[in-house]
Amino acid sequence: MRGWLDDAPSYVPPVKVGAVMRALAVGRVVESKNDDFPVGAHVHGTLGVRDYLVTDGKDLRVIDTSQVSGPEHLAALGLTGLTAYFGLMELGKPTEGETVLVSGAAGAVGSVVGQLAKIAGARVIGIAGSDEKCEWLTGELGFDEAINYKTADSLTKAIASAAPNGVDVFFDNVGGRVLDAALANTARNARLVICGAISDYNSTDRAGIRNYPRIITHSLTIHGFTIGDFGDRLPEGMKALGGYLAEGKLVSRIDARDAEVKDFPEVFGALFEGTNTGKLIMALPGRE
């Protein structure tokens, strides 16, 4: 969303000054002249930050909130959960007994990736930026090991120690030196799924990936992707993730903040102050 506020070319046009802020949201139908959207139904789509809107329903989807709540449709079943699902299952393809390494593991994408890798029968190692996050990973989320990259003397050695037989799948949200350290620990035929490079997005002087000859010597495959690559398969991912949530196999952490439309900038700011825990969602009280 931050990128949409810059007046620069991106994967979608910028939001104009004075326009409704673009946002994925879950809403409820209060009046209807369209049988596909009965009154009372919950709908999911790019509704924007506002109290009400009139729409022909184009690009909106009615969702079932009987088993999976509206907010979960924006978190575990939203873009972050779906990114984790398709990136890991379709590109990383972890198998029973393999070792999966995840960076940004306590984030909205990484935390789902690690849990899906456990469901697939893999041994899972997470990289995160605080001891508290690492404890959450190995505790509530069931990761096998977690590495605090901020306190590790050598990230490369810490990964080697946690993955003595090498890393079979690396799901990367961070890039930069984390990616380089992971590359140095890849097993033969490892798959690297490059989902984000948060460490380098604002960098003007990138260090560069130096361990790339390992791509040849270890017959690695590297996949980059955005969720748009799986645009026609999202319902399939939602069904799988919804099932795991309902069975209690997937833990999702949502930080829902009650607020009015006018408070959006303040709520949004929590992302940049780092005060949110889990997927940050703004809730309009009384609209459930």
Question: Do the beta carbons of residue 264 and residue 282 sit within 8 Å?
Answer: yes
For the bound state, the minimum distance from the C-beta of residue 233 to its own copies, rounded and expressed in Å, comes to 14
Question: Which C-beta is closer to its own copies: that of 150 or that of 210?
Answer: 210
What is the smallest separation between the CB atom of 162 and its own copies, expressed in angstroms? 23
Grouping H, G, I as helix, E, B as strand and the rest as coil, residue 262 is helix
Residues binding its own copies (CB under 8 A): 11, 175, 179-180, 194-197, 200-201, 206-210, 212-226, 229
CA 72-145-280 angle, 5° bins: 25
Query: Minimum distance from CB of 129 to its own copies (Å)?
Result: 20
Of 107 and 175, nearer to its own copies (C-beta) is 175
Q: Where are the alpha helices (DSSP H) in 6-130?
A: 70-74, 79-86, 110-119
CB of 12 to its own copies, least distance (A): 13
Specify the pairing of strand 42-45 against strand 61-63: antiparallel
| Conformational region of residue 76, where left means phi above 0, alpha means psi within -120 to 50, and beta covers everything else | alpha
Least separation in angstroms between residue 200's CB and its own copies is 6
**Pick from 178, 180, 165, 171: which is nearest to 143 by CA?**
171
Return the number of the residue (214 or 249) whose C-beta is nearest its own copies.
214
In the bound state with its own copies, the residue whose beta carbon lies nearer, of 162 and 194, is: 194
162 and 175 Cβ atoms separated by less than 8 Å: no
For the bound state, the minimum distance from the C-beta of residue 230 to its own copies, rounded and expressed in Å, comes to: 10
- 108: burial class by Cβ within 10 Å (0-12, 13-18, 19+)? buried
> What would the two tokens of residue 237 be?
């991912």
In the bound state with its own copies, the residue whose beta carbon lies nearer, of 110 and 278, is 110
Rounded distance, CA 101 to CA 171, Å?
A: 6
CB of 49 to its own copies, least distance (A): 26
Rounded to the nearest 5 degrees, what angle is found at the Cα of 172, between the Cα atoms of 169 and 176? 125
CB 99: neighbour CB atoms within 10 A? 25
For its own copies, give the closer residue by CB, 225 or 264. 225
Residue 263 is given by DSSP the state: G
DSSP state of 233: G
Instruction: For its own copies, give the closer residue by CB, 161 or 219.
Output: 219
Q: How far is the CB of 78 from its own copies (least distance, A)?
A: 19
Cβ distance to its own copies smaller for residue 66 or 202: 202
- In angstroms, the CA 288 to CA 237 distance is 25
